Structure 1
Amino acid sequence: MGRTRSTITSMAETPSTLRVFIDGPPEPGRDAAWAVFDATGRAARSGRSPPAAWPVASRREAVIAARHGRLVTLTVPPLPPGRAEAAARFALEDQLADTPEEIHIAPAPTGSWRWCAGSIAQPGFVRTDRGATIAVGPAQGDAPPAELALALARGGAGAPRTVRVDADGASPALLSRARALTGVEFVAGTPWHWANATPAAFAGAIDILSGRYGAEASRPAVNLGRLLRPALWIAAIAIGIHVAATLGNWLWLRWESAAIDRELTALARAAVPEFAQGSAAETSPTAALARRERDLKHRAGLAAPDDFLPLLARAAPAFAALPKGAIRSLSYADGHVLLDLQKTEPAQASRLQHELQKAGLVAIAAPTATGARLRVGLN
C-alpha cells in the first residue's frame, strides 16, 4: 500500500486528513472509497463517491492498492536518502520492462509477518517483521498464496514463527493446510480494511511522492554552521595565536629598545661630562658619544671620521664623476660638507646622492634657484 499526500487550505477548526483508496485507474466520475481521519488518527467518517463529492479536509492522501505496483526487497549499503533511489534503480535495471527513466521507484521505510487482504479470495500483501512488503495473490483453495509460500521457503533461519492472517475467510482448514506446507504456524486475525489501519501503518507506508516526484527535496538540509564550526574554531585559534605572538614580539622589541637606550644613556653620562651635567640634554646619547670621540681624537692629534678631510676623501670618487664646473662652492661645518651645484641636468643631484650613499655617507639634497644644495655627512 502506497500513499501520496497534498495539503490544502480549509476552514476546519481541527486538522483532518482525507484518505482515498485507489484500487483502479482514477477517473473524474469514478467512485472511490474514502475516510476522514481526525488529528488523533481515528476514522471519523467514511464513504464512497466521485472526486467532486469528496469531503474537504486540511490534508489529502491517496492510498494506492499494492497490486498496482511491484514490491521487492533489496539489500543496499547505507546511503543518503537522495542516493537510495538511484541504487535501487541500478539493482533493478535488468528486471524492469520499461526504460529506467520511465519507472518510478519509491523506497519503503523499515517495521511482523502479516497477510493482509479484504478476504482470502482477493489479492493482498504481506508485511514482514523487517518492514518489507510483499504483494501476494489470492489463496489457492486451502493453500496460502504462492508468493507467501515462496517467501517463507526462502526465509531460512529468518523465517517467522507465526503468520497472522488478517483476511476474511481464514478457516481452520486454510490455517492447517498452510502450516503443513510451510512449517510455520498460521493464526487467524482481524479481517484487514485499509481505513482501519493504525496511524503508524499510514505513517510507515511507502510514500509515492518521493525522489524526483517529491514535493520537497529528499536530500536533508545541511547545517553549514555546524559543518563549518570546527574549521572556524581552528581559524579563530590560529588568528588568536598569531595576534598574541605578534603582540609579544612587539613588546619584546620595545623592551630591548628601551634597554639599549638606557645603556647608551648610562654610557653617555659616564663618558661625556656635559651630558651628565644636563647641559647637553637636547643632544641624544649617540650624538654626545660621537662628539666626545671626536674631541678626544682631536686632543690626541688624530682626525675624526666626520672631519673635513676624511669626509672629502670618502666623497671624492662621487665628486669626480661630476662634469667640470658643476660645483659652485664647497664648505664644511659641524661635521658636514656643504656642496652647491650648478643647474645642469635634472637627475644630476639624485645620481650624486645615490653614489654618496654607496660610499656610506648620508646626502640630503634641496633644490635652489641656481641648482641644488647637498649636505653630506655620516648622519
Structure 2
Amino acid sequence: MAAQVLRRGQAIVWVPPRAGGERAFATEATLLAMLPIAATEKLVSGPGHTAVTVQGTGSAARYARLSLDALPPLKSVTLVFDARDVTLLRAKVPPLSGARLRQALPNIVEDLLLQDAQQCAFAVGPKTGDGERLVAVIDRGWLELVVGAFERKGAKVAAAWPAQLALPVGASGAALACLNDGLALRLGPLDGIGWNAADGQQARAEAIVALLQAAWSAAPEGERSFAERELPEEGPDRRNLPFYVEGPAWQPAVMIAAAKAGFAAEIRSLPLPMAAPVDLLTGRRGSKAGRWFADIDWRAWRLPGALAAAAVVVALLGLNLHWGMLARERDALRTAIEARYRQTFPEAQVVVDPVLQMERQVATMRARAGQSGPEDFVPLLTRFAQALGGQAADALSGVEYRDGRLRVRFQPGQFEARAVRDTLVQACQRLGLQLRFDAEREPTATVALLR
C-alpha cells in the first residue's frame, strides 16, 4: 500500500479538471495530494492551513486537499490527470517510432477528436486485442502548464497517468472514482471514461447512472454490459462495483445510483493509484529548454518589456542626438580647416583633404627653403639614434629611407629578446616615433613618425 511506495519527498497528486481554471490550482485548494502522514500533519497543524481537508487512507500516508503553493517541498511527484481531460482512443498505428510517430498521430486520430489535433499531446500505449493500439489524448497546453508548474517548484514529475486507468479494479474488472465533482470509470485494462457530476445528491446519482448507461451502450458489439457480464464465480463480492469516493458526501449519491442501476456498490476511500498502462509524459515534444521557453507567461512581462523597450528607444534617441552633435562639430572643424588652408594657399583650386594638402604644401615650401622636415631622413635617423642610446653605433647593419619611413636592419644578436624590443619600442614612443618589427625573430623593423 502507500507505506511501500511513498517516501519522504514523494507525493501522488490528483490534478483538478481543466474546466476549473488553468491557474486556480496554484493558489486554491484544488489539488488532492497523497503525502506521508508526517507531511500532512504539519500542513494541518501549521499556521494558515486550518481549512485543509484530510482523508485517511492508511497508517503511512493520507490525502490532503491543498493548493500548489501549500505543497511541502517535494523531490518527485506522480500526477493523475482528471479523466474528463484525457480521451482514450483505439487506432491502427503504423510501425513508426520517435519523431515520425509523433508527426503521424495527429493525422491518424484527427477524425476522432473535436479539438484541433495539433493542439493535443498523444501518448501511445500497448496494443489492444484487435490489433490496434491505445492512444491517450490530452490538451498539450494543459499538460505543459501542470507539469511545468511542478517542475518550477523543484519537483521531478516521475509519471502522468489518466485517472480512469489508474484505478484498481475489483472482481468485476471495473471501478469508479468520485472526486473533484466528476467521475472516472474504468471498464477494463485499457478502457475508461470521465464524466461530469453536479453538487446535489440526486444530480450526482443521475450522473453516475448516466455514465454507466453511456459506458454500457458504447461497449463493442458482442460484449455484455457490466450488469449482464458473466463474472468469476470465486469470491462473495464478484458482482460488486468498487466506488472510490473522495469523502462521505458522495455516499448517499452512490447508494441511490446503485439502487437505480441494480448493482451492489462497494464504497471505499480513494486508493493508491495503480501504474497506468500509458504515461502522458511520453506525449511531450521538444527539448526541456524549448518547453521552458514556451511555458513562460509573457503576459506577466508586458510591463517590464514595455519599460525595457522605452529605455532602449530613449537610449537610441540619445545616441542619435549625440551623433548628430558630433557630426555637426566635425563638419564645423572641417570647414574651419578648409577655410584656413584656402586662406594660407589662395591659389589652391580643388580641396579634397585639407590636412594632407597642407602637409604637402608645407613640405614643399620647406624643401624650397633648404630646410628639412620631421619626416626627412636625417631628422628621423637622429631621433631613432637617440632612442637606441649607447647601442646606436653597433646596433644597425643597414638603413633604407623611403616615403618618410626608415627600414632598419639590426646586427645579428641585437634586439632579439621580447623584453629588449619592448623597451626600444617605448623609447621610440617617448621621442614621437613608431617602431614596428616585421616578425617575432626577424631583425628588420620600420620606423615612422608617431601620429
The bucket for the TM-score relative to the shorter chain is: 0.3 to 0.5
Q: Which has the larger radius of gyration?
A: 1
Give the TM-score normalised by the residue count of structure 1.
0.38
